[in-house]
Amino acid sequence: MSTMNISLPEALKDFIDEQVNQRGYGTSSEYVRELIRRDQDRLRLRGLLLDGAASAPAAPAEAAYFDALRNRVRSRVKARARK
């Protein structure tokens, strides 16, 4: 794992220390890594949404499609609950 040193104003360092203590992170590095992962996820989702918006229109989804989708989700939730 690489190391990166950053300089922060005291107010930001205090904020990070407070978040680490309140949210149960072991270190400030864990907290910052989580923020970076969330930003990566947000950017990935944004890219997918932009790709979808730029794609050709598809056929309209009917109620049966959404019913099947709901059933799949419910089945997965039940399967996870059994584990």
Structure confidence by residue, pLDDT tens digits, 55-69? 999 888 899 999 999
Which domain, by its residues, includes 15? 10-82
Q: What distance in Å separates the CA atoms of residue 26 and residue 8, rounded to the nearest whole number?
A: 19
Whether the CB-CB separation of 19 and 25 falls below 8 Å is answered with yes
Does 40 map to a domain? yes
Does 38 map to a domain? yes
In whole angstroms, how far apart are CA 6 and each of 12, 15, 66, 70? 11, 15, 47, 45
Does 5 map to a domain? no
Does 1 map to a domain? no
Does 74 score more than 90 pLDDT? Answer: yes
Does 83 score more than 80 pLDDT? Answer: no
Does 35 map to a domain? yes
Whether the CB-CB separation of 17 and 9 falls below 8 Å is answered with no
Q: What distance in Å separates the CA atoms of residue 79 and residue 63, rounded to the nearest whole number?
A: 24
Give residue-wise pLDDT tens across range 3-57: 999 999 999 999 999 999 999 999 999 999 999 999 999 999 999 999 999 999 9
Q: What is the pLDDT of residue 61?
A: 87
Does 2 map to a domain? no
Does 73 score more than 80 pLDDT? Answer: yes
Does 73 map to a domain? yes
